[in-house]
Amino acid sequence: MDRTGRPIRPDVRSAGHEIWEQACQRTYLLLADHGPAADLMEKTVAQVSRYLDRIGAPLSTHKHGLVLVAFCRALRRYAAKTSRLELVGGSGDLANHTADDAWVRQVDARLDFEKIVRQMSERNAVVLMLRAAEYDWKEIARLFGVSAGAIRNAFWREIGRIRCRTRSM
């Protein structure tokens, strides 16, 4: 079966097995990597099978030439596509870079958070800490002896004022 659930013709599947070594060699010569060969072969076999079914071709054992031509075309398209990409390092370099960026963003977020808390009134700083501790608005309102709407509106009004101040800086 192919990826969409359609059956793959047995003659095309056996042709794919027959040319597998040659496909791997061609892939390595063009890309200096064996990796993409399996995926390209799988897609090629499915494509050729669909094509032959569509035109009503009879089953035969002489399909390896057709499969090889289709594979080479797919390989050339893949090579052209990957040559347009500019690689800047290996997967290890990318993983280290991503981890470093995540750490920097986390530190920046923490600094921004502390800056906001310093600008807040004492009451709203306590409200923020209670919300961070997963208190709901009703519980916080009970602690301050006001309604939930009043405490929530006061908190968000102050947040809005701080946003306006930080944007104008």
CATH number of the domain that residue 111 is part of: 1.10.10
33 Cβ contact partners less than 8 Å away, ≥ 6 residues apart: 27
Centre a 10 Å sphere on the Cβ of residue 163 and count the other Cβ atoms it contains: 11
Total number of domains constituting the chain: 2
Residue pointed to by tokens 């009503």: 56
Determine the structural domain holding residue 38 and report its residue range: 10-84
Say if residue 167's pLDDT is above 80: no
In this structure, are 100 and 140 located in the same domain? yes
Strands (E), the chain: none
Which of these, 19, 90, 84, lies nearest to 48 by C-alpha position? 19
What is the reported pTM? Answer: 0.48
63 Rama sector, left if φ>0, alpha if ψ -120 to 50, beta otherwise: alpha
Are residues 103 and 142 located together in one domain of the fold?
A: yes
| Residues across the chain | 169
Q: Which of 6-15, 126-135, 149-158 has the highest mean pLDDT?
A: 149-158
Mean pLDDT across the stretch 47-74? 85
Pair (80, 98) in one structural domain: no
Indicate whether 160 pLDDT > 60.
yes
Q: What is the mean pLDDT of residues 54-62?
A: 80
Which tens digit of pLDDT belongs to each residue from 64-121? Answer: 788 889 999 998 888 888 776 555 666 666 566 555 577 778 888 888 888 888 888 9
Average pLDDT, the chain: 83
The answer for residues whose C-beta is within 8 angstroms of residue 50's C-beta and 6 or more apart is 2, 6
